[in-house]
Amino acid sequence: MEMLGLAVVYLAAGGLGQKVAIVGNISPAWPPAGVALAALVVLGVSRWPGVFVAATVMALLSGVPFLSAVGVGLGNTLAAVLGAWLLRRVDFDTSLERIRDVVALCAGAGVLCLGVGAAVGATSLVLSGRLAWESLAVGLRVGWVGDLMGVLVVAPPLMLFRRCERPRRFSEAVGLAGLTSLLCCTVFFIPDLPRSAAHAATFLLFPMSAWAALRFGPRGTAAATLCIAAASIVGTARDHGPFSTDDLTQDLLVLQLFIAANAVTGLLLAAVSTERQRAVGQLQLLATTVRGVHEGVLIAEVRDGGALRTVFANQALCSLLGYRLEDLLGEDPCTLYGAQGLEFRQRTRQSLLAGEPVFAEVQLLRKDGGLVSSEVLLSPVRASDEDVTHFVATHRDISATKELQARLVAAERVAAVGTLAAGVGHEINNPLAYLVLNLESAERNLTQGGMAGTRDAMASVRSALEGAERIRLIVRDLQVFSRQGNQDRGVVDLNALVPPAVRIISHALRHRARLVEEFGPVPRVSGSEARLGQVLLNLLVNAMQAIPEGNPSMNEVRVRTSTDATGWARVDVVDSGAGIPAHVLPRIFEAFYTTKSSGEGTGLGLAICQQIIRSHGGELEVRSEPGRGSVFSVLLPPARVQVATPPRPLPRVSPPPAPSKVRRGRVLVVDDEPRLAQSMRLLLEPYHDVVTTTRGGEALALVDAGHRFDVILCDLQMPETDGSAVYQHLCAHAPDQASRVVFISGGAYTPESRAFIDSVPTRVLEKPVRPDVLMGTVDAAMAAAEALASDVSSDGVVAEPTVAVASGTRH
């Protein structure tokens, strides 16, 4: 039925075309060419027999001999088939809403393929005698242009009006149709209209086509073109209108140029308008989407000389940073990265101008001066193949993620130490028992009296001091792995960091394997001692758990420090355990992935270790072979400045404190632990006058009452009035006493107390304080006070106090 319908429509259109045939039954306007192309494009190339039969019958009805009629039918069919095949190859869309589709229809299917059909048809007419050889060129030209008119005028309406739809602007469409019809009748059907007026009126038809294209798209253009072409062809054939002269052939050829220009211009303008509307719609959708996303988006323009200027920022970014949109527009976006330092901003700018995307974690500067942790993707935008005109910055607030990561790190640190709790407890219990037994022995010897008893008591006390020193070292090692938060980075000696981790794990490991330490020359690195210590402890725990209990002489865990070939610091943790299977090895750094039994691991240890090492600019590598153990290697870049660090002293018993070398002074001891305050009083009282109190408020009351002290030993963390409050009150009301404060702390710093300690020039001693260190610190503080007093007496001007740092550790 489709082929029959196609043949009927083809014959009807051919009858109209034959009415204006001029050269050997060749028509300068051949509608069947458009019918055939549209049918094969819409219905499929398989309908070509309908075109062939209809074209052959049409030629026979025109008086063409059978063989020539077959040749004409073959030429028309070949043109339609080639045109449909070409359009399918270029992914042609019958909606004609793209410029490429209009160009493919006009230049491809029209100009190229129709030339083949016209050549076959004209040659067939020449061979049959219906067309003279000398007229072949004219016939070929007229036939080719006639087919092109059919394609440009008839094919678009057939493709676009397959379904009847009411125009969106129906009243405007009716007005446009009426006005176009009125102009066509005026130009082409009024017989007495002067030729000059007809020519002038013809130009008014182009605005009609433009109106139809811009307001109604390809459908409006196709309808207007069909109307104008039909009116102009009929009027010219009746010798009316601006294109009618005494030469009908010349008239129709000029008319063809008019129709082609009108059709192609209208179709292109409609496609351009449709693509523009689609692009504007997509841009509006994109803008709406960007404004509504939760991530902050900033778009900056790259100006001459590489200067950057913000042209867009969405509401999410403005809310994140506390700015209004007007505050950001026109500004250099690099000012938002002020917290990153000049080097980072310069490197980022260079990468963007070079067209390279940048992905990083940054600290954004809020309007109120605060910082926001953000994950940013900076993407350059090229307007051509060479120039970067804009870049897009997508920011994701990761403050909550960073806080969660910090909590996970702290939890894993506690888990690692908790795994070793029994061993650490054993290590503390041994010297604690040693300490208790020697003190009891000393008490018993002193009770007996006599020189022998005193001598034995002194020996027992010295032995007790040795046990206390061992406990102090264990507590100090534990502090390395229990500090909270991101500590300030400094220069870390890995050779000094390994022994504390080894000592903590040694008791738990002794039932599984030998522990071997192998130290080599290694550059110092820049980083956090607490976090790097956590990595070492986690790797040692991981190595321990890879080795079963029961045969320590056959297994080994080796910790080796060295410098690799690139000059980076290297720490290898080697175990002789079961190894890691090949299918498991790629996943060991994934969070929460673990092959250990319940209670042995959470799957976070190695993931956190890798995150910590990468945050230090290094890499964590692993090599393993099932049955032959594993090697975990920590690689860290060397610090830019290699600070010489003295070797860590071996554990020793503190010598008796030397007698004070300065004058007798007044010392105020402020500590909420009464026994500790009393112990310090007993140590210092032979050389100084000592006043003790367990409350910061009482100490301030003494100073406010007029009491003055040469040294104030103050606990940092106390209930009610803590050490920072004491110091701040002294700075405001007794600044001469504030310069004499020495803080004593157990090391459990809060972020607030750490920030306070870092901001004031005071000494800080760690508990437990060795007697010689305490005496030396008091002497140094008094010497500094005497130097200050001499400066005042000699010059009459109060000099800035010089703070001598005693041998306590400052954190």
Choose between 346 and 722: higher pLDDT: 722
Average pLDDT, the chain: 78
Other Cβ atoms within 10 Å of 790 Cβ, number: 11
Distance between CA atoms of residues 707 and 710, nearest Å: 10
Closest CA to 606 of 589, 594, 593: 589
pLDDT for the residue numbered 606: 79
- Interval 105-115 mean pLDDT: 77
pLDDT digits (tens, 9 = 90+) for 425-461: 655 665 676 677 667 777 777 777 777 777 777 877 7
pLDDT digits (tens, 9 = 90+) for 693-708: 999 999 999 999 999 9
Q: Please state which CATH class domain 666-795 belongs to.
A: alpha beta
Check pLDDT > 50 for residue 799.
no
Whole-angstrom Cα Rg for the chain: 48
pLDDT digits (tens, 9 = 90+) for 52-75: 888 888 878 877 788 888 888 888
CATH fold of the domain at 293-397: Beta-Lactamase (3.30.450)
Distance between CA atoms of residues 124 and 67, nearest Å: 8
Label residue 343 by pLDDT band (50, 70, 90): low
Check pLDDT > 80 for residue 41.
yes
pLDDT for the residue numbered 651: 39
Least confident segment among 212-216, 282-286, 663-667: 282-286
> Which residues, in sequence order, are bridge partners of residue 382?
388
Label residue 726 by pLDDT band (50, 70, 90): very high
- Interval 260-288 mean pLDDT: 82
Contact between 713 and 667 under an 8 Å Cβ cutoff? The reply is yes
Label residue 22 by pLDDT band (50, 70, 90): low
Tokens (6 digits) for 77: 């069919």
pLDDT for the residue numbered 657: 52
- Interval 282-308 mean pLDDT: 76
List the beta strands (DSSP E) in 409-494.
490-492
pLDDT for the residue numbered 734: 92
Label residue 586 by pLDDT band (50, 70, 90): confident
pLDDT for the residue numbered 25: 64
Half-sphere exposure for 720 (CA within 13 Å, toward CB): 9
Decide the pairing of beta strands 619-624 and 630-636: antiparallel
Label residue 410 by pLDDT band (50, 70, 90): low
Distance between CA atoms of residues 386 and 369, nearest Å: 38
Write the DSSP symbol of residue 110.
Answer: I
- Interval 150-155 mean pLDDT: 86
Distance between CA atoms of residues 153 and 103, nearest Å: 15
Check pLDDT > 90 for residue 757.
no
- Interval 459-472 mean pLDDT: 73
pLDDT for the residue numbered 437: 66
Closest CA to 208 of 181, 232, 188: 181
Choose between 305 and 369: higher pLDDT: 369
- Interval 216-228 mean pLDDT: 88
The CATH superfamily label for domain 411-636 reads: Histidine kinase-like ATPase, C-terminal domain (3.30.565.10)
Closest CA to 206 of 150, 153, 259, 278: 259
Least confident segment among 264-273, 328-337, 576-585, 783-792: 783-792
Label residue 112 by pLDDT band (50, 70, 90): confident
- Interval 397-407 mean pLDDT: 73
Contact between 269 and 218 under an 8 Å Cβ cutoff? The reply is no
Label residue 169 by pLDDT band (50, 70, 90): confident
pLDDT digits (tens, 9 = 90+) for 613-658: 888 889 999 998 888 899 999 999 998 776 554 444 433 444 445 5
- Interval 369-397 mean pLDDT: 79
Label residue 691 by pLDDT band (50, 70, 90): very high
Which strands form 308-313's sheet, in the order they lie side by side? 308-313, 296-302, 388-397, 371-382, 358-365
Check pLDDT > 70 for residue 213.
yes
Residues 1-160, CATH architecture = Orthogonal Bundle (1.10)
pLDDT for the residue numbered 559: 93
Choose between 516 and 745: higher pLDDT: 516
Contact between 120 and 75 under an 8 Å Cβ cutoff? The reply is yes
- Interval 350-368 mean pLDDT: 78
What residues contact 263, with CB distance under 8 A and at least 6 apart? 152, 153, 156, 221, 225, 229
Least confident segment among 155-164, 215-224, 237-246, 255-264: 237-246
Decide the pairing of beta strands 711-715 and 666-670: parallel
pLDDT for the residue numbered 191: 78
- Interval 341-345 mean pLDDT: 66
pLDDT for the residue numbered 803: 32
Check pLDDT > 50 for residue 809.
no
- Locate the domains of the chain by residue range: 1-160, 165-285, 293-397, 411-636, 666-795
pLDDT for the residue numbered 636: 93
Check pLDDT > 70 for residue 496.
yes
